[in-house]
Structure 1
Amino acid sequence: MEPIYYEVNLGWQHDRMGQLSSPALTTTIEVATPPDFPKGMAGIWSPEHLMVAAVSSCFMTSFLAISENSQLAFETFTCRAVGKLEKIDNVLMVAEITLFPEVVIVQESDMDKANRVLLKSEKVCLISNSIRSKVSMQPTIQVEVQA
């Protein structure tokens, strides 16, 4: 496979806030120091939030592709993700990201398949495979209640 490049541009706006853009995208994202740090700004995406979001969204897109290839019928997919920032060996880092995917499947007989798809999605997520943070998963699989 040939290398693929993803270009992102960042322009400082004011204080501790900048704006992300890409020539390949139509929307921009404000980014700032999180409020947990001096001069941080509440209500604006931080690099830490974007990192956790990158892992979660990569996991979702992996799940969607593998579900399609596995012919797993599901009604909904959601995923809460929590990143843990801590000091390790005197360096601040997002040491751990925990994914909490919830999948509602159509048939109870697909329970094992859904679990396999989730596990494979966690394993092949290219963002998780590109970072030092430990990524783990605590999935919930439910069967759609028929009315």
Structure 2
Amino acid sequence: MAHTYTAETIWERGDQVFSDNLYCRKHALRFDGGIAVVGSSSPLVVPVPLSEPNAVDPEELLVSAISSCHMLWFLSIAVRNGFIVDAYHDHAVGTMTLNGRRKLWVSSVLLSPKVVFSGARAPNEERLKEMHHEAHEACFIANSVKTDIQVQPQ
């Protein structure tokens, strides 16, 4: 079974000089659901004003995609096991380092989800870790990247 996902990346030079490499990296990201966000290069990679610090950069999008996919699988696992989740908050952190070819890459992502349960029962610490492991194993995004992904439930 194949699924197709679409996203548009839109950048226009406008009246900027391009050949001097001092063009703004701000652009639009439009998704198939209709939402659009402002994208840019990371100010950690390309300095402001050539980057837009209030925009989302590709590295943040990758970290967010991993975190979101993990959460969606975790919620699915929780409901199948009869647990009631009231809140899920993950503060995910991606780290970019040099690889063996001396190229920058997002080498690791640390997920730190805090899950609040209610109802008659909640998983014990061991079961909670198992559920996060199941979510990680099922996550389409985690299965699509070479990045080392660690999960440390809070």
1:35 aligns with 2:48: no
Percentage of pairs with the same residue: 23
AA matched with 1:5: T
Cα distance in 1, alignment partners of residues 140 and 43 from structure 2: 29
AA matched with 1:110: P
Query: How far is the alpha carbon of 1:25 from its aligned partner?
Result: 1.2
Aligned to 2:134: 120
Q: Which has the higher strand share?
A: 1
Kindly provide the CA deviation profile for residues 66-88 of structure 1, in whole angstroms up to 9, marking residues without a partner as x: 11111122322111100001111
Cα distance in 2, alignment partners of residues 41 and 75 from structure 1: 35
TM alignment of 1:30-69, pairs within 5 A: 30-38=38-46, 39-69=50-80
Aligned to 2:17: none
The DSSP-based 3-state class of the residue aligned with 1:110 is coil
Cα distance in 2, alignment partners of residues 110 and 70 from structure 1: 9
Of the three residues 103, 109, 126, the one matched with 1:91 is 103
Question: Runs (4+) of structure 1 moved beyond 3 Å?
Answer: none
AA matched with 1:47: P
1:19 aligns with 2:32: no
* Aligned-residue RMSD, C-alpha: 1.6
Of the three residues 100, 109, 115, the one matched with 1:103 is 115
Cα distance in 1, alignment partners of residues 133 and 85 from structure 2: 16
Kindly provide the CA deviation profile for residues 99-135 of structure 1, in whole angstroms up to 9, marking residues without a partner as x: 0011122356621433321221122111011001100
Contact 2:92 2:112 (8 Å CA) reproduced: yes
Query: How far is the alpha carbon of 1:21 from its aligned partner?
Result: 1.1
Contact 2:90 2:111 (8 Å CA) reproduced: yes
Aligned to 2:4: 5
Cα distance in 2, alignment partners of residues 120 and 95 from structure 1: 22
Cα distance in 1, alignment partners of residues 132 and 141 from structure 2: 16
| 5+ residue gaps, structure 1 | 141-147
- Length, aligned pairs only: 138
| 5+ residue gaps, structure 2 | 14-23
